[in-house]
Chain A
């Protein structure tokens, strides 16, 4: 995520088109398939060189959207432009897009070189030019040693890289990635996604990546558009999306969340009985649902002022942190913490940040971002202090 220079279209929200021509723009795109509206009046603007991730559960319309960008489906309504030119009804072969398919879709009767050179031959390039470009693409994905191998003889990860090289060699204006990592095993997935990100940034190519994997989206995207039921629910930078998900759907889909069916009161979030969980920052004073991220739930030694009493129900080691389930005011809430808490232990609990929703929508979405930052800072300091206290207590 170290790409500070992707200014245009990246500003929070990103709903309004930036003055420079966007790399890719979808306006009011609608698609019905089999009598069902799969994509509903969708607007999306992707800045040149930006990697946007369409994230959502299966059936949310993300793949349909990608296929419309690639030209494999025609929208029923709306307009699609790439680099300012209208491509709404252009067939795939007339579009400056290149797709990497989920199953790689390498032609089994052509060698690796044959696969990469296919599109170049259609463009009537000279033999020397083709060779040069294929060499460049093979080098890009580190597969020079497999130039004459048939696709069936290389591993899944290598096939994936061939598919990527085949797409990139055509120098598309927009690169489309359809769940590119879903067929790879977990270790390889992390490596390939880093490779893809690195290449994408090096070439500065506008990219749309479709995935249902939030980790993948959070780790590679400049911006994430979370889709649900054919609509974009929230479209923002990964950190922003995680910190202030606009809807309860987005909040649940990205990361874990403690949900409390209540409205905040002065000084915190009521938990049942007379227990109020103190909160350092709430997004709004009223709502019907409160969400607290597990890492925003801060345990400190029992009896600390400004905390609610809680008991450890379960403590599950997760390697570099613990997942701890607390019982607090008759409600079970989950926390991620570095503290070595044991089951049955009593602690004081408070929330660093609490997101308040009404009818599924985040309240106070535009509230002071600085306050947000302050709360996070404070939380870090507190946690450190609490850890020290715990260490002292243990001695």
Chain B
């Protein structure tokens, strides 16, 4: 993509070049500039994505790092020892995993049937529901969480595990309906009819054909939902703190109460499960199942 897209900017930049250059070398020059521009943007992108991570990784080992210096003046492993050895980390990690798993399971139970209906049936209001789900992302999260908190106080869900799970689950609804709905929709009706024809009842068809063929799309949605829950901080903090502190909410405390090095170490630790999971499903994400989710008609 980077090879073809920047042709236009390149053409603009070749314009000031001497006009009497013969066509062939000029084309070569054009392609060189195209590549250079593409390379430049690629590096820019990398700097923006990897730069902060790199800074964080260095900060995690820094003893003293003041502004004009490109690298820390003194190095240390103290912060790693303090964070990993601290009493807070393991319980927070355990809580994070527990909440994320339960919230994802709850999302499966609620969203997958909805996704099946949205993907396989055409009922009045279907498009409205699909768009409505998407629109929930248009509002500022904190505002929503505040009104949720009001509700939760009334329902006595504040500071409860169920409350945290519900709040985390809410954030996954779009992913958990759109992507599986597209996966269900892409299962050709004739494959299902062929299975019925061969003698399979509706349940068997659902589990052996429909679910099986939609599985990659559903897996992608589940993993994205799990990651979203795992990293969810705002709602979890509002509902769970101070009783239930997960890793991301713990970060909030660390950032305000500790030197930045501790937060850097914590953030790196927080990255590990996400990166591992993403590496695991890279093939499916690359395979277009994610994109499929947003092509629902």
A positions within 8 Å CB-CB of B: 70-72, 91-93, 97-99, 101-103, 105-109, 118-119, 122-123, 166-167, 170
Chain B residues numbered 201-223 whose CB sits less than 8 Å from any CB in chain A:
201, 204, 209, 212-213
Q: Which of A101, A108, A118, A170 contacts B193 (CB 8 A)?
A: A101
Q: List 23 A-B contacts (CB under 8 A).
A: A70-B193, A92-B197, A93-B196, A93-B197, A93-B199, A97-B197, A99-B193, A99-B197, A101-B194, A102-B190, A103-B188, A105-B188, A105-B193, A105-B194, A106-B194, A107-B191, A107-B213, A109-B212, A118-B198, A119-B199, A122-B204, A166-B194, A170-B198
Q: A109–B204 Cα gap in the complex (Å)?
A: 15
A91 surroundings in chain B (CB, below 8 A): 196
Provide the residues of chain A in CB contact with B196, threshold 8 Å.
71-72, 91-93
How would residues 269 to 295 of chain B score, 1 for a CB under 8 Å from any chain A CB and 0 otherwise? 000000000000000000000000000
| Inter-chain contact A98/B197, CB cutoff 8 Å | yes
In the complex, the answer to whether B194 meets A107 with C-beta atoms within 8 Å is yes
Given contacts A71-B196, A99-B194, A122-B204, 6 further A-B contacts (CB under 8 A): A98-B197, A102-B190, A105-B190, A107-B213, A118-B195, A119-B200
The smallest beta-carbon distance between B192 and chain A, in angstroms, is 9
Measured between beta carbons, the chain B residues less than 8 angstroms from A167 are 197
Q: Which of B188, B196, B197 is the most central at the interface, judged by chain A CB atoms within 10 Å of its CB?
A: B197
B190 near A98 with CB under 8 A, answer: no
* A101→B190 contact, CB < 8 A: yes
A93 in contact with B201 (CB, 8 Å) = yes
- Nearest CB of chain B from residue A94's CB, rounded to whole Å: 8
Complex alpha-carbon distance, A166 and B195, angstroms: 11
Which residues of chain A come closer than 8 Å to B195, judged between CB atoms?
A: 107, 118
Q: Which residue of chain B has its CB nearest to the CB of A108? A: B213
CB-defined contacts of B191 to chain A, threshold 8 Å: 105, 107-108
Chain A positions within 8 Å of B188 at CB level: 103, 105
Query: Cβ of B198 and Cβ of A119 under 8 Å apart?
Result: yes
Determine how close the nearest CB of chain A comes to the CB of B289; give it in whole angstroms.
15
User: Nearest chain-B residue to A123 (Cβ)?
Assistant: B199
Annotate B38-82 by CB proximity to A: 1 below 8 A, 0 otherwise: 000000000000000000000000000000000000000000000
Residues of B within 8 A of A107 (CB): 191, 194-195, 209, 213
Q: Least Cβ distance of B123 to chain A in Å?
A: 16
- B199 and A103 within 8 A (CB): no
Consensus secondary structure, chain A interface: loop
Q: Kindly state the separation between the CA atoms of A118 and B212 in the bound complex, as whole angstroms.
A: 14
The CA of A92 and the CA of B196, in the complex, are separated in Å by: 6
- Return the contact of B197 from the options A70, A102, A108 (Cβ within 8 A): A70
Please give me the residue from chain B that is nearest to A116 by CB atom: B198
What's the Cα separation between A105 and B192 when bound, in Å?
9
A91 vs B209: C-alpha distance when bound (angstroms)? 18
List of B residues within 8 angstroms of A99 by Cβ:
193-194, 197
Inside 8 A of A122's CB, which chain B residues have their CB? 198-200, 204
Q: Name which of A72, A93, A170 has the most chain B CB atoms within 10 A of its CB.
A: A93
Tell me, in angstroms, the Cα distance from A134 to B196 when the chains sit together: 19
CB distance from B217 to the nearest CB of A (A): 13
Q: Residues of B contacting A103 with CB < 8 Å?
A: 188, 190
Please, how many angstroms separate the alpha-carbon atoms of A72 and B195 in the complex?
12
Rounded to whole angstroms, the CA-CA distance of A228 and B248 in the bound complex is 68
* Chain B proximity of A64: nearest CB distance (Å): 14
Task: Give 6 nearest A-B pairs by CB, closest first.
Answer: A119-B198, A105-B190, A105-B194, A92-B196, A122-B199, A93-B199
- Residues on A with C-beta less than 8 A from B194 are 99, 101, 105-107, 166
B190 touches A93 (CB 8 A): no
Instruction: Report which residue of A70, A92, A97, A170 has the largest number of chain B beta carbons within 10 angstroms of its beta carbon.
Output: A92
Residues on A with C-beta less than 8 A from B199 are: 93, 119, 122-123, 170
* B197 shortest CB reach to chain A, Å: 5
Give B200-258 interface residues, CB cut-off 8 Å to A.
200-201, 204, 209, 212-213
Which chain A residue lies CB-closest to B196?
A: A92
* B67 CB → nearest A CB, Å: 58
Distance in angstroms between the alpha carbons of A93 and B199 in the assembled complex: 4
Complex: A167 Cα to B194 Cα, angstroms? 9
Q: Which residues of B contact A71 (CB under 8 A)?
A: 196-197
- Give A118's nearest chain B residue, CB to CB: B198
List of A residues within 8 angstroms of B198 by Cβ: 93, 98, 118-119, 122, 166, 170
B200 touches A93 (CB 8 A): yes
**Given known contacts A118-B198, A122-B199, is B190 in contact with A109 (CB within 8 Å)?**
no
CA distance A93 to B203 in the complex (A): 12
Closest CB-CB distance, A46 to chain B, in whole Å? 18
Least Cβ distance of A109 to chain B in Å? 6
